Every structure is written in C-alpha cells, then in structure tokens.
Structure 1
Amino acid sequence: MCRNSRSLESRSRDVLERLNIALYPYHKDRISDRIPGTCDWFVTHRTFKVWQESPKSQLLWVSTNPGCGKSVMMRYLVESVLTSNASRTVLYFFFNDDSEDKRSIVNAMRCILYQLFKQHPNLLTDKILERFETDDRITNSFSELWDILFLAAKQNANKTIICLLDALDECDKSGASQLIEALGKVYKNETANRNLKFLIASRPYDYIRQGLRPLMINGQSLIHLSDEGEAEMKDLSREIDIFIRAKVNTIGDQLQLTNEERNSLDKGIIGIKGIAEITSSLPQSVDEAYERILSKSTDAEQAKILLHVVIGAARPLSVPEINFVLTLQDDHTSYSDLNLEPDYRCIERIKSICGLFIIITYAFLDYSAKHWTAHLLASDIQMEPLNPSLLKLCDGHETLSRNWIRICWDNSTADVPYGYTSAILASYFGLVSVVQHLKNVANIDWKSKDTKHGRSALSWAAGNGHSAVVQFLTRRIWWRRGKGRRAVDSKDWHDRTPLSWAIMNGHEEAAKILLEAGASIDSMDQVGATPLDYAKCRRLHGLISNAKTIMVKLHSLGQLGMVIRKW
C-alpha cells in the first residue's frame, strides 16, 4: 500500500512537471498593484456580484479599451477579491503578446491545470493520470487539456472553480477562437459543470465580440465597458483620476517636488517647450503599442481614411456621416447610388476597422449639450431673435445654463473657465450676437477674469479662434496713456496674453486682429516664451511678417499711446 502511494505521488509529480510553466506567476506579478480607491467600479458592479454569487456556471466577459486598468483589476481579483472565500479555487493566466509562450492558449491551459492539481492533488486520479501517461502529446493539445479540466471539476463538485483569463486579445487569434468555440459548446449545454466559472478580460475586438455574441443572447452575464456604458465610464474616469494623483505623489516623493510643483503636474500645466520635448521623444513602447492596435484592423486603407476624416473634422461626426464617408466611391454620382448599411452594422464596421481609436457615444443629449454652439455658428440662422434664449444659456445663475454647462464640461480635459461671467461664456463659445447685446448691460465688467485660469473674455475668444468676437472686443479699444494696451495684453495666471493663446492654437485671423489692435508680440509668459516664440514654433511665417509690418505702421502713426475707449 505504501509502495502504491509512493507510485501515485511519483506519477502525479511527473504530470505536474509536464504541465508546469515556471514563469506563469511572473506574468501576473509584473502587473502593477491596485491603488486604493481603484477597481471599485467593477467589484461593486451589480453584474459582477450576480456572477460571483450565482450557484450556476456562468461566463463573464469584461471588455474595455486600452489603458482602463483591466490587468490591474484582474490581479486584484486573483489576489484579494475572489480568494477571500475558502470554498473557491481561483486559477489564472495573463496573456501577453511580447512572446509566443505568453500568447499560447495551450500554455494557458497547462498553467490552469497545474494550479488546479497543485492546490488539489487528490484530483489527479488514476483516470486522469492514465490519460497523461498514454499520450505524450497531450500537453500540446488544447482540446485534451480542456477535457481534463472539466473532468477534474466534476470530481470536485462541492468547490467552485474560477478561471480568470486576462488579455484574451493578446492570445494568438487561432487559440482565442478555439477557446471561444469551446466555451460556446459548454454554455449551450444545460448539463455543463455547475461549479466551473470563467471570467475573461479583453479589448473589444470584433472577432471576440462576434464569437461571444451567441452566449450573450443565451443569457450569459456581460459587462462591456466602452463608449456604451456611460455610468461605468464615469466611475472609471474617476478612478483614473485617483491613479494619476497617486502617480503624481510618487513622482513628487522621488523628485522632492514642492506642493505647487505637484499641483502643476497634477493639472497637466506644462510649458510649450516641455510639451514639445515630451512629445518629440515618446518611448518606443508607446509607438509599438499603437502599431499593434492598428495591426489588428480588418482594413488598413479604410482605417487610414477614417482616422484622417475624424481628425480633420471641425466637430465630432455622427454615425450616419461616417457611414456616408465609408460608403462613398469615385463612381457614385448621386445620393441614390449609395447603398448605406444600417447604423448598427456601421458601428460594428467602425469598431472592426479602428474601434480602439474611435469612441461612439449614443446619448444625443450629451452630444447636443457639448456641440450645439458649433452647429449654431455654422448655420444660417439669424441670431438676434435667439438672443433672449442665448442670454439665459450664458447666465451662470440660471438652472438651464448650469445643466448644459455641466454636461458640456463633465470629465472634460479642456481648460474650461470655471468662475465665469456671461461675457466670458459668450466669448468662449463665439456667440457674437450675445457679446454685442451685453455691451448695453450696465454691470458687465469686460476685464473680469475666470477664477480657474485668470483669463478674460478677450483671451477666451482669441484662444478659441472666434475672430468676430475678437474683432468686436478690440474695436471697442483705442489707445491713450497705455490703459488700452493693458486690456488687449491682459495676462492670465501664467502671464499669457490673448495674442499668445490665439497663436498657440493656430488662429491666425484672431492673432492678426489683435496685432492690429496693438497687442504686444514680445510679452513674455512664465515659461519665458513670447507670442513671437509661439509663432515660430507653429511656423506661422506669414503672421510673423505681418506683425512686423503692423508694428512699423503703428509706430509711424504714433499710435503707441492709444487707450480703451469708454464703453
């Protein structure tokens, strides 16, 4: 009996050696630890809780775009959340496309079985041992290893077994397809093991989505974090902010930064020279990451066209507009020649072409709140009759105004002017008719600045390229005793003038108007740059030449002493 026992131990040890891939824990441990306050969006999500507590076998697919912290979350689940219950056995594999070994679905199954038999040696029964001993190639066969997983799970029916597979999109495509097909067979079978659950995380590539779609229809659990999940994305955005602040504190400790420097780093306030230096020397790994994403496109030429159109558009495009762009051919002579596919299929097509670079939002309220001013300015509508409504929208004390501004700037990365006045808001969005109307309002202070950036109405209009507003505001200005120069060269918290902002953002027409109003071309900001420096950086040679001509003209006319005319 003792000899038979030792023989069983020896046989089991041989099987474990054949299954073992020594570095599999490293694949997990190379992932960053969770920062407190992150991953909560997932572990508190109702769908996750239902899946976690369900007595039956279920598949949960978590799909998000790059950079959302899926792998950090999966490590957290493996090490803390799911292992907190002793009745569960947690098995895992983290795919990575930096080597063939980490891309292999067979290696994933070997690691899963190794962990299972290491934690529960009693599951290596004679029946399973014989399968390994009679087939030398069994450890190279996905289907054989898959069958053994389910055979072992049946022998341990009182214990829930959870298999976590991270970054399925980085598994080789044929292997991922094998897994998806095998899962499909399992979950279509009502007699499948009730104690075996799967949690898969990946990017939302079309071949994975299409493969799993029949299971979604069949009632399997799904959390799909992308542009569709607004509530999840809001929570995720908050957690990304937590992550950034934690990283800022780490960098601050390492470099012994002051609180002011940490705040500047946290807010992303970097001088133009710093931005140029950073963006001109991106790590090679960043380029490689984008190349890998693009390499998964189903149509590289269409991806090129689509990205050119999206980047070149003056505003976000709608799905029907993108549909039109992708369908239009050289031989089409009229709209009737187009055979446009339904929008829902176009959305799938966009995602398969370059889905990870394009976000599709479905809420028309969100879209209209963010972009109604762009549509209004591009239309032929007479503005004067709309002034009463526009004035309400630009009044920060109105509930209507607060609601649309909140939506417009919610989670925005733009430098929005908190602590704004009606004049600042109207100038920010280029609503010239409102600006003109406000000139008759007695208590409007045109030199007032927002509380976040210290920028005036003229600064915001110039920075956003609203030439008509800039023209109106500077037309009210003439020079006497230098007061007007202070108004047109009004500086924000970083000592940047309206001319600096116009040039930095490439708005030559607005810059020209400011120059003609006497704006200084050599006013220096806190990073030591002048409007002339910014013009050189953007290679606005025509503007530089024009500035010199205007300065000569102003000097010859003796207009350097103009001031603001009374409003």
Structure 2
Amino acid sequence: MTNPNAGTVICTLDALDECEESTKYTLIADLKNFYLEQARRTGSSQNLKSLVSSRPYQDIELRFNSLIRHLPAIRLAGKDESESIGCEINLAIKTRVRKIGFSLSPDIQIQEHLKNRLLNMTHRTYLWLKLVLAEVELVFAVTKKQLDRVIDVLPESVDAVYMAIYTVVAIFGRLSVFLHIVLAAKRPLTVEETNVAVNMTEDCKNPMTTSILNQHHRSGKGYGIFVVSL
C-alpha cells in the first residue's frame, strides 16, 4: 500500500454484519486505525479505498462513527428502500414459482401453496431465494402435506442455507481439506493440481500419477471429491 506506483487499490467488504462478532469488531478497529493514521500524515497520498456494506446495526454504526467524523464517507442507507426491495423479492418469488411450478407438481393449488409459503417466510433475500429454490426443485410434491414437509425444513436465512450445504458435503469428510488447500496454496492451483491434492490421504505413502488417480475414480475407488472444471 505504500508503493506510489501501485495505483489505486479498492477493497470491497460485503455483508460486514454477517461476520463472526469478534472478527467483525477486530476488522472495524483495523480499518479505523489504518485510515486515521493515514489522515494524520499530512501530505500522504492514500491509494487504498474501502467499500464496506452492512445492514444498519447499532453496534457497527457506533464503531464507525469516530472514523466517519474525520474522513469523507458516503453512506447509502438501504433501510428506506426495504419496502420496495421486499416487493421486488416477492415479484421474484412469484415469477420463479411460476417457471418451476409444473415440474414440482401439475396441481395449481400446490404451486400456489408453495408461493404463499415462500412469501410468508422472513429474512428473504435474493441469494436466499436462489439457494432455497435450488433445493425445492429437487422435490416432486403430490400433496400440500408433502410440500409442507419440504418447506418446514428449508433454511430460513442465507447462513442456514450455507450451513446445510456444508453439512451435506462434510458428510464425505473432504470439504475442509479442499478449503485448506485453496487457502494455503502459494499460487492459484490448476483444476488437475487441486484434484490431486484433495484426494491425497494421510495413509497414501507412495506418490501416484494423475493417470492412476483417474483410474481409481473411474473404477469407483476414489478418495473423496473429484474436482472438475465446467
């Protein structure tokens, strides 16, 4: 950040309110300290710009107040648009249910029931709707009771959706390994490299070629996840 030839660097922090509490407060404190220190240096040029989005929770606003008082800031208050955003999401629900309705059930009443149940759920966002409908599309409901059983176990927030996905994948015991490899790699890995790394196990004493690894997958002797590029 101190290199004058680096140019402007823009850091985007989306959904700060979704961060774990202690991590969130540490991040806010680091941002404040960094920018306040830069403001104290007269004549110093600042090439790091930060865009932070968050729901307007009081604990977050209070921690940003001291920074906003000293530096220019633009606040885009979305709370005034919450009603219109809610209407847009309702429209999206109606449109998506109409598109996928017949594949779920030929019964119009069941399609209407699905639409009404989704419209009445809280914490609705576009991302939540996309993830939830991906689950709903896997189901063919013959009766309202069957559909209700599906809806009753649907995640009610984006966090819950991701936890459900993580739980399903974690059953196979390889998701955390995949994430660790991606984070620890010194450079971005190719799909083939990632596939080899993910499927290496602690009891694998001898190196194996990728051709042998592929043979194991084709023969059903795979070690967990098979990474592909689509």
TM-score, normalising length: structure 2: 0.42
Compare CA radii of gyration and give the structure with the larger one.
Answer: 1
The higher-RCO structure (CA 8 Å, 6+ apart) is 2
TM-score, normalising length: structure 1: 0.20
